[in-house]
Amino acid sequence: MARFLRADNVAFKPYAYERAALSLETLNKDVGEIYREGGTKALLEIPGVGKAIADHIEEYLKTGKIKHYEDFKKKLPLKLDDLVRVEGMGVRKAKILYQKLGIENLKDLEKAAKAGKIAPLFGFGEKTEKNILQGLEFLKRDKGRFLIHEILPTARKVAESLKKLKEVDHISLAGSVRRRKETIGDVDILVVSKSPAKVMDYFVKLDGVEKIWGKGGTKASIRMKEGFDMDLRIVKKESYGSALQYFTGNKDHNIVTRKIAIDRDLKLSEYGLFKGKKQIVGATEEDVYKAIGLPYIEPELRENEGEIEAGLVGKLPKIIGYNDIKGDLHCHTSSSDGENSIEEMVKAAEDMGYEYIGISDHTKTLGVANGLDEKKLLRQREEIERIREKLKKQGRKIAVLHGCELNILKDGSVDISNSVLEKLDYAIASIHSLMKMPKAEMTKRIVRAMENPNVKIIGHPTARLIGERDEIQLDFDKILEVAKKTGTILEISAQPKRLDLRDIYIRRAKNEGVKMVINTDAHQKEQLNLMEYGISQARRGWAEKEDIINTNSVEELLKNFK
Ligand code: DGT
Ligand code: CA
Ligand code: CA
Ligand code: ZN
Checking if the pLDDT of 142 tops 70, the result is no
CA 50 to mean position of chain CA atoms: 28
Angle at which helices 251-263 and 240-248 cross, to 10°: 130
Check if CATH label 3.40.250.10 holds for domain 327-561. no
Q: 250, 273, 270, 257: which is closest to 308 by C-alpha?
A: 257
What is the pLDDT confidence band of residue 28, given thresholds at 50, 70 and 90? low
445-504 pLDDT per residue, tens = 999 999 999 999 999 999 999 988 899 999 999 999 999 999 999 999 999 999 999 999
Ligand 1 atom closest to residue 231's alpha carbon, by position in its atom list: 11
167-181 pLDDT per residue, tens = 999 999 999 999 999
Question: For residue 183, which ligand has an atom nearest its CA?
Answer: 1
Q: 333, 372, 325, 388: which is closest to 535 by C-alpha?
A: 325
Residue 538, CA atoms < 13 Å, CB-side half-sphere? 35
Contacts of 412 (CB under 8 A, 6+ apart): 444, 445, 446, 447, 448, 449
CB atoms within 10 A of CB 371: 24
User: Which of 176, 228, 230, 300 to probe ligand 1 with, by most ligand atoms within 8 A of CB?
Assistant: 176
Which pLDDT belongs to residue 86? 87
Which pLDDT belongs to residue 391? 98
Which pLDDT belongs to residue 11? 83
175 CA distance to ligand 3 middle (Å):
7
For the chain, the first-to-last Cα distance in angstroms comes to 46
Q: 468, 366, 496, 472: which is closest to 89 by C-alpha?
A: 468
Average pLDDT score over residue span 9-22: 86
Q: Between the CA of residue 301 and those of 73, 113, 190, 393, what are the distances in Å?
A: 46, 42, 20, 45
d(C-alpha 8, C-alpha 238), whole Å: 62
Q: Which one-letter amino acid corresponds to residue 37?
A: E
Q: Fold identical between 146-235 and 244-312? A: no
Domain 244-312 sits in CATH at 3.30.210.10
Ligand 1 atom closest to residue 145's alpha carbon, by position in its atom list: 4
55-86 pLDDT per residue, tens = 999 999 999 999 999 999 898 888 888 898 88
Ligand 1 atom closest to residue 255's alpha carbon, by position in its atom list: 29
Ligand 1 atom closest to residue 253's alpha carbon, by position in its atom list: 29
160-210 pLDDT per residue, tens = 999 999 999 999 999 999 999 999 999 999 999 999 999 999 999 999 998
The CA-based diameter of the chain, rounded to the nearest angstrom, is 77
Which residue is closest in CA terms to ligand 1's atom 31?
251
254 CA distance to ligand 1 middle (Å):
9
Which pLDDT belongs to residue 89? 85
DSSP β-bridge partners for residue 173: 189
Which residue is closest in CA terms to ligand 1's atom 9?
175
User: Which of 221, 247, 267, 288 to probe ligand 1 with, by most ligand atoms within 8 A of CB?
Assistant: 247
448 CA distance to ligand 2 middle (Å):
42
Which pLDDT belongs to residue 226? 87
Which residue is closest in CA terms to ligand 1's atom 13?
175
Which pLDDT belongs to residue 120? 94
User: Which of 182, 250, 304 to probe ligand 1 with, by most ligand atoms within 8 A of CB?
Assistant: 250
239 CA distance to ligand 4 middle (Å):
46
Which residue is closest in CA terms to ligand 1's atom 5?
176
Q: Between the CA of residue 333 and those of 161, 359, 425, 522, what are the distances in Å?
A: 36, 7, 17, 9
* Domain range 2-141, CATH class: mainly alpha
285 CA distance to ligand 2 middle (Å):
19
241 CA distance to ligand 2 middle (Å):
18
181 CA distance to ligand 2 middle (Å):
10
CA 334 to mean position of chain CA atoms: 22
Which residue is closest in CA terms to ligand 1's atom 1?
185
> Where do the structural domains in the chain lie, given as residue ranges?
2-141, 146-235, 244-312, 327-561
Which residue is closest in CA terms to ligand 1's atom 20?
247
CA 497 to mean position of chain CA atoms: 5
Least confident piece of the model among 60-74, 80-94, 145-159, 297-311: 80-94
What average pLDDT is seen over the chain?
A: 94
Q: Are strands 187-193 and 229-235 parallel, antiparallel or unpaired?
A: parallel
202-233 pLDDT per residue, tens = 999 999 998 898 888 889 999 998 889 999 99
Neighbours of ion ligand 2 (CB under 5 A): 175-176, 186, 188
Which residue is closest in CA terms to ligand 1's atom 19?
249
Q: Which one-letter amino acid corresponds to residue 68?
A: H
Which pLDDT belongs to residue 370? 84
Checking if the pLDDT of 158 tops 80, the result is yes
User: Which of 143, 188, 245, 300 to probe ligand 1 with, by most ligand atoms within 8 A of CB?
Assistant: 188
Residue 378 CB burial class (10 angstroms; 0-12, 13-18, ≥19): middle
- Which residues are near ligand 1 (CB < 6 Å)? 175-176, 181, 184-186, 188, 246-247, 249-251, 254-255
What's the CA angle centered on 5, arms 525 and 36, to 5 degrees? 50
Architecture of domain 146-235: 2-Layer Sandwich (3.30)
Which residue is closest in CA terms to ligand 1's atom 14?
175
Classify the C-alpha dihedral 489-494-499-503 as positive or negative.
positive
Average pLDDT score over residue span 100-117: 94
Question: For residue 248, which ligand has an atom nearest its CA?
Answer: 1
What is the pLDDT confidence band of residue 143, given thresholds at 50, 70 and 90? low
Q: Is residue 475 helix, strand or coil?
A: coil
Checking if the pLDDT of 26 tops 80, the result is no
174 CA distance to ligand 2 middle (Å):
7
175 CA distance to ligand 2 middle (Å):
5
φ, ψ of residue 393 to 5 degrees: the values are: -60, -35
76 CA distance to ligand 4 middle (Å):
33
CB atoms within 10 A of CB 28: 8
Which pLDDT belongs to residue 141? 63
381-435 pLDDT per residue, tens = 999 999 999 999 999 999 999 999 999 999 999 999 999 999 999 999 999 999 9
d(C-alpha 412, C-alpha 414), whole Å: 7
